[in-house]
Amino acid sequence: MTDATYTPPKVWKWDSESGGRFASINRPIAGPTHDKELPVGKHPLQLYSLATPNGVKVTVMLEELLELGIEEAEYDAWLVKITEGDQFGSGFVEVNPNSKIPAMMDHSVTPSIRLFESGSILLYLTEKFGAFLPKDIAGRAETMNWLFWQMGSAPMLGGGFGHFYAYAPEYYEYPINRYTMEVKRQLDVLDRQLANNRYISGDEYTIADMAIWPWYGALVKNKVYDAAEFLEAHTYTNVIRWADEIAQRPAVRRGRMVNRAWGEPSSQLHERHDASDFETQTQDKIGDGE
pLDDT at 289: 44
pLDDT 10s digits, 210-240: 999 999 999 999 999 999 999 999 999 999 9
**What does the mean pLDDT of the chain come to?**
95
Does residue 61 register a pLDDT over 60? yes
- Per-residue b/e over 222-247, b at no fewer than 16 CB within 10 Å? ebbbebbeebebeebebbbebbebbe
Q: Quick one: pLDDT at residue 143?
A: 98
Decide if pLDDT at 130 tops 70.
yes
Residue 15 pLDDT grade (very low, low, confident, very high; cuts 50, 70, 90): confident
CB 266 within 8 A of CB 283: yes
**27 band by pLDDT with thresholds 50, 70 and 90:** confident
User: What pLDDT was estimated at residue 290?
Assistant: 46
For residues 194 and 201, give the distance between their C-alpha atoms in angstroms, rounded to a whole number. Answer: 9
Question: If you count DSSP H runs as helices and E runs as strands, how many of each does the chain have, helices first?
Answer: 11, 4
- CB atoms closer than 10 angstroms to residue 267: 16
pLDDT at 3 (0 to 100)? 57
Q: Which of 2-6, 125-129, 170-174, 264-268 has the lowest mean pLDDT?
A: 2-6
User: What mean pLDDT is predicted for residues 45-72?
Assistant: 98
Sheet holding 103-106, edge to edge: 75-79, 45-49, 103-106, 113-116
CB 191 within 8 A of CB 30: no
In whole angstroms, what is the distance from residue 65 CA to residue 206 CA?
11
Of 13-27, 222-236, 258-272, the least confident: 13-27
Mean pLDDT of 68-75: 98
β-pairing, 45-49 vs 75-79, is parallel
pTM of the model: 0.95
167-192 pLDDT, tens digit per residue, is 999 999 999 999 999 999 999 999 99
Quickly state the pLDDT bin for 76 (edges 50, 70, 90). Answer: very high
Query: Mean pLDDT over residues 25-31, rounded?
Result: 90
pLDDT of residue 4: 72
Q: Is the dihedral of CA 194, 198, 203, 208 positive or negative?
A: positive
| Alpha-carbon distances, residue 248 vs 179, 186, 233, 243, 244 (angstroms) | 30, 24, 20, 9, 7
Q: In a 10 Å sphere around its CB, with 0-12 CB exposed, 13-18 middle and 19+ buried, how is residue 200 labelled? A: buried
The per-residue pLDDT for 2 is: 53
Cα separation values, 12 from 8, 16, 98, Å:
7, 11, 22
The reported pLDDT for the residue numbered 16 is: 66
pLDDT at residue number 5: 82
Q: How far apart are CA 171 and CA 168, in angstroms?
A: 7
pLDDT of 156: 98
Question: What would the mean pLDDT of 190-212 be, rounded to a whole number?
Answer: 98
Instruction: Please give the Cα distance from 72 to 70 (Å, whole number).
Output: 6
